[in-house]
């Protein structure tokens, strides 16, 4: 007999994530009585969150009526804020993108300027989806720096001058709904897990302008005591040639300063490559340019030395690479795998998968949507919504 919660929110979660498709399956999963489950399912149907439709396979009696989550009952805004770009998507309640718009920004312009642009993009995306602010049930925002998750305020973010302690949720007051804010890598990690989620232990490593790591424990984002878990970009890395590189955080030889997107561009320019952006370095590597390939591989090996230590400590099922530099694909992975498999303990590395995200450009928006959806549809919120 299962003993999971049988609250309306828990029943909704089971149907939404595909764990149960009928009242009978909910009874079997939760151990609650048939009457209790039916009463709560009826409430969820009346609220528009669940729908009935079709018949399931019969096991001898009358075929069960199937339940499905009504992902069209509302929408959420998903905001993916980067150092140089802002992307805003409108999604349904299954994180399917209905409309998305983006625009270049400079995160250093500060919260007032950047969030005004986000507001403009959000209104444009809603208009493209044929929706209004009243249709928005929740907002999810990913930002490139540490965040106090409970308040949605950045905490001393090294690459976001002027953002410390800024109340980001207040910028979305027009929607009159809950706003959830987190570090962009935690958000991307949620995006990689998808709607169905996972029970695995996973490291989602973003390599873009900066480097960060989303830590997934038993399928849940692990944020640590103050919300700064996974800040691997500022781990010290000794260099084989003894050189020192100053990081923007003020320390020397941080992983980000040696292998992030900015470091890749700096090293490419020093090597005389004809590039003006990190993207061009990656494109040269994709075309088979020898010096560009070696730079990307070297960045991979540097990242891999840090990941090897994390593998020994955390023993994840898999590592997923995402972010702009991860678009380099094979040469980056080759460098990472070389270091991780060479430096990790055999037991920890034996069944370890290291892959590149299937959709690194989308995981930030999908993750922001899932964060908003999961936050809005948690057990307490669903209970309160039904009570209203």
Residue the block writes with tokens 């048939």? 34
| Cα of 239 vs its chain's centroid, Å | 31
Considering the domain architecture, whether residues 109 and 32 belong to the same structural domain is answered as no
Angstrom distances, CA of residue 356 to CA of 178, 322, 359: 32, 6, 9
Considering the domain architecture, whether residues 185 and 60 belong to the same structural domain is answered as no
Question: Which of 322, 300, 303, 314 has the alpha carbon at shortest distance from 349?
Answer: 314
Confidence at residue 2, expressed as pLDDT on a 0 to 100 scale: 43
Instruction: Report the Cα–Cα distance between both ends of the chain, in Å, rounded.
Output: 32
In a domain, 138, yes or no: yes
Considering the domain architecture, whether residues 315 and 352 belong to the same structural domain is answered as yes
Considering the domain architecture, whether residues 171 and 39 belong to the same structural domain is answered as no
In a domain, 1, yes or no: no
DSSP for 219-284, written as a single string: TEE---SSS-TT-GGGSB---TT----B-TTS-BSBHHHHHSHHHHHHHHHHTT-S-SSHHHHHHH
The answer to whether the beta carbons of residues 63 and 56 sit under 8 Å apart is yes
Confidence at residue 199, expressed as pLDDT on a 0 to 100 scale: 76
pLDDT along the chain (388 residues), means of 10: 70 88 90 91 91 68 82 94 94 96 95 97 98 95 91 90 96 95 93 78 91 92 85 91 88 95 95 94 93 95 96 94 87 94 89 88 92 88 73
CATH code of 52's domain: 1.10.10.10
Separation of alpha carbons 377 and 380, rounded Å:
8
Considering the domain architecture, whether residues 249 and 279 belong to the same structural domain is answered as yes
Considering the domain architecture, whether residues 64 and 120 belong to the same structural domain is answered as no
Considering the domain architecture, whether residues 166 and 112 belong to the same structural domain is answered as yes
CATH code of 354's domain: 3.30.420.40
Confidence at residue 226, expressed as pLDDT on a 0 to 100 scale: 77
Q: What does DSSP assign to residue 76?
A: E
Length of the chain: 388
In a domain, 118, yes or no: yes
In a domain, 100, yes or no: yes
Q: Domain span at residue 282?
A: 198-358
The count of domains in the chain is 3
Final residue in a domain of this structure, among 47, 69, 91 = 69
Final residue in a domain of this structure, among 41, 69, 97 = 69
Confidence at residue 3, expressed as pLDDT on a 0 to 100 scale: 44
Considering the domain architecture, whether residues 133 and 120 belong to the same structural domain is answered as yes
In a domain, 3, yes or no: no
Separation of alpha carbons 163 and 295, rounded Å:
33
Confidence at residue 87, expressed as pLDDT on a 0 to 100 scale: 97
Final residue in a domain of this structure, among 69, 88, 116 = 69
């Amino acid at each position: 007999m299962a003993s999971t919660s049988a609250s309306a929110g828990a029943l909704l979660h089971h149907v939404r994530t595909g764990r149960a498709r009928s009242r009978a399956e909910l009874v079997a999963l939760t151990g609650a009585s048939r009457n209790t489950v039916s009463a709560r399912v009826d409430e969820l149907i009346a609220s528009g969150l669940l729908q009935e439709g079709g018949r399931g396979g019969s096991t001898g009696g009358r075929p069960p009526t199937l339940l499905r989550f009504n992902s069209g009952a509302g929408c959420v805004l998903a905001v993916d804020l980067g150092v140089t770009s802002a992307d805003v998507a409108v999604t349904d309640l299954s994180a399917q993108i209905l409309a998305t718009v983006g625009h270049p920004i400079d995160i250093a312009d500060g919260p007032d300027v950047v969030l005004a642009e986000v507001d403009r993009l959000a209104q444009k995306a809603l208009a493209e989806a044929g929706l209004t602010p009243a249709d928005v049930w929740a907002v999810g925002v990913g930002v490139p720096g540490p965040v106090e998750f409970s308040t949605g305020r950045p905490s001393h973010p090294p690459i976001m001058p002027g953002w410390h302690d800024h109340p980001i949720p207040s910028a979305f007051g027009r929607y009159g709904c809950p706003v959830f804010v987190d570090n962009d890598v935690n958000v991307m990690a949620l995006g990689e897990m998808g709607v169905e989620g996972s029970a695995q232990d996973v490291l989602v490593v973003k390599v873009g302008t900066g480097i960060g790591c989303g830590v997934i424990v038993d399928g849940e984002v692990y944020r640590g005591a103050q919300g700064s878990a996974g800040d691997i970009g500022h781990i010290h890395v000794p260099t084989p040639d003894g050189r020192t590189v100053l990081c923007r955080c003020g320390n020397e030889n941080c992983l980000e300063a040696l292998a992030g997107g900015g470091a890749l561009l700096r090293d490419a320019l020093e090597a005389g490559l004809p590039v003006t952006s990190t993207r061009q370095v990656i494109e040269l590597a994709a075309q088979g340019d020898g010096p560009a390939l070696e730079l990307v591989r070297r960045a991979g090996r540097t990242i891999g030395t840090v990941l090897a230590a994390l593998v020994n400590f955390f023993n994840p099922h898999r590592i997923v690479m995402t972010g702009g530099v991860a678009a380099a694909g094979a040469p980056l992975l080759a460098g990472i795998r070389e270091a991780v498999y060479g430096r990790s303990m055999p037991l920890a590395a034996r069944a370890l998968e290291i892959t590149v995200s299937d959709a690194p450009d989308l995981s930030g928006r999908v993750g922001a949507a899932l964060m908003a959806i999961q936050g809005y549809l948690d057990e307490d919120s669903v209970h309160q919504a039904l009570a209203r």
